[in-house]
Amino acid sequence: MMNLKTMITALVLLLLGTPVMAEKLSLPVISTYFNGMKTAAAPFTQINDDGTISTGDIMIRRPGRIRFKYNPPESSFVMAGQGQVAVFDAKSNQPPEQFPLTKTPLYLILAKNVNFAQDKMVVAHTSDGTITTITAQDPQHPEYGNIQLVFTGNPVALRQWIVTDGSGQQTTVILGELTLGQSMPTRLFNIEQEMKARGF
């Protein structure tokens, strides 16, 4: 039975196909990539800290908004907007768990102005000739955890991230082909409207 790292590598290769050789992407180039991204959507595969796998679709509307819609049998639904992250559980009759977006590593790519060249934000920056990987954290609050981002080049494209939260738990998200520039109404990221629709 393959271990978790081998499983992740196999999934990445399956989704990417054969990556094109590319030079190491610079931090300014990666920052510009995110700052130019207004909306993005993709199917995703998520590998949780316990090794379980979920799939679904992700929608990003920068700045500050993200939405994870999971496929059955997963019952969770996660969205960020208005500076908060909300985790809904369809099997529960309780309101969603909420916490500030700024206290999660995902905030680093959802911020209005992404600047990975900022002092002490990027703690690792490598390339194997086909992909560029950076690990970033909030330089003021490293205790919030970090996010490892994987990119291909020609053109630049985000392919995967691994979020390590403040307790050390890791969640890997492997992205399918990103579709950029779609129209995404703000209501898709409105936590209060979602709560009302669910009777809270």
Q: Render pLDDT for 117-146 as a digit per residue (tens, 0 to 9).
A: 999 999 999 999 889 999 999 999 999 999
> What is residue 21's predicted lDDT score, i.e. its pLDDT?
63
- Helix/strand/coil (H/E/C) assignment for every residue in 122-135: EEEEEECCCEEEEE
Nearest to 128 by CA among 54, 55, 22, 47: 22
Tokens at residue 67, please? 């939405």
Tokens at residue 37, please? 């991204």
Q: How far is the C-alpha of 187 from the C-alpha of 78, rounded, in Å? A: 14
Nearest to 107 by CA among 95, 97, 115, 119: 115
> What is residue 22's predicted lDDT score, i.e. its pLDDT?
66
Per-residue confidence band for 1, with pLDDT thresholds at 50, 70 and 90: very low
> What is residue 75's predicted lDDT score, i.e. its pLDDT?
81
Per-residue confidence band for 85, with pLDDT thresholds at 50, 70 and 90: very high
**pLDDT higher than 70, residue 14:** no
> What is residue 31's predicted lDDT score, i.e. its pLDDT?
97
**pLDDT higher than 70, residue 4:** no
pLDDT in tens, 43-81: 999 999 999 999 999 999 999 999 999 999 888 899 999
Rounded to 10 degrees, the C-alpha dihedral 189/194/196/200 comes to -120
> What is residue 198's predicted lDDT score, i.e. its pLDDT?
85
Nearest to 62 by CA among 38, 46, 43, 78: 38
Candidate CATH numbers 1.10.340.30, 1.10.1060.10, 3.90.190.10, 2.50.20.10; the one for domain 26-197: 2.50.20.10
Residue 20 or 115, more confident: 115
Q: How far is the C-alpha of 137 from the C-alpha of 143, rounded, in Å? A: 9
Q: How far is the C-alpha of 115 from the C-alpha of 29, rounded, in Å? A: 10
For 185, the 3-state DSSP assignment is: coil
